[in-house]
A and B are shown apart, each in its own frame.
Chain A
């Protein structure tokens, strides 16, 4: 079965520290990969996406992610976080098993808390 695993449900870090939020998926089919962010009391918004091409993808607010096909991972990174980055982060994968057969699956989310 196709699934998306976010390995950490909560990640606390100090301001200006680097952070990595991990995302793995299980599938042998083609994928499109997304990271969405949900700030408190708001809906989800797109942070970045990988569709094809360069495996290193840059997004908004200084975030980047790297697609690693062999490890079926799409980890999100930021070299120096701010208090305002405190939010829940969702990894989402579209599995494409051929033709018009697409399935979008979200991970359970990682709550990033940035402390002063």
Chain B
């Protein structure tokens, strides 16, 4: 157990639907990162939050949004889902706000299947 908790572990939904993935960072970590992992694209950085504020954006689609709450948990919202959104979504956390020399601690991931 890495200390980073992601729910749900598996999710199956239909095209056009909206889902929310949740992440609780490791105790004491203020940063949350979201990544998408698919066979064709590999590990893609989506977005980074630090202590409630957005710090960096990667290849995140406009249909996707995220936020980090005062208790530091984060949610990734995926809307108007398409077949190509099927992937493993990882959350990672770290202590500090910048990438720097920080080690990321990853959760076990949420596997999204869009039918």
Interface residues of A (CB under 8 A from B): 32, 34, 36, 41-46, 49, 51, 90, 94, 96, 100, 102-104, 106-109
Distance in Å from the Cβ of A63 to the closest Cβ of chain B? 16
The answer to whether B103 touches A46, judged by C-beta atoms less than 8 angstroms apart, is yes
The DSSP consensus for interface residues of chain B is: loop
Distance in Å from the Cβ of B3 to the closest Cβ of chain A? 11
* B115 at interface, CB cutoff 8 A: no
Contact of A44 among B99, B100, B106 (CB under 8 A): B106
**Total B residues in contact with A, Cβ cutoff 8 Å:** 18
Interface residues of B (CB under 8 A from A): 2, 4, 42-43, 45, 90, 92, 98-101, 103-109
Most buried by A among B98, B99, B109: B99
Given contacts A43-B106, A43-B109, is CB(A96)–CB(B42) below 8 Å? no
Besides the contacts A36-B106, A44-B43, A108-B42, what 7 more A-B pairs have beta carbons closer than 8 Å?
A34-B103, A43-B4, A43-B109, A102-B98, A104-B45, A107-B42, A109-B43
Given contacts A104-B45, A109-B42, is CB(A43)–CB(B99) below 8 Å? no
Contact of A43 among B45, B100, B103, B107 (CB under 8 A): B107
The answer to whether A44 touches B42, judged by C-beta atoms less than 8 angstroms apart, is no
Within the assembled complex, what's the spacing in Å between the Cα atoms of A54 and B101?
A: 16
Most buried by A among B90, B104, B107: B104
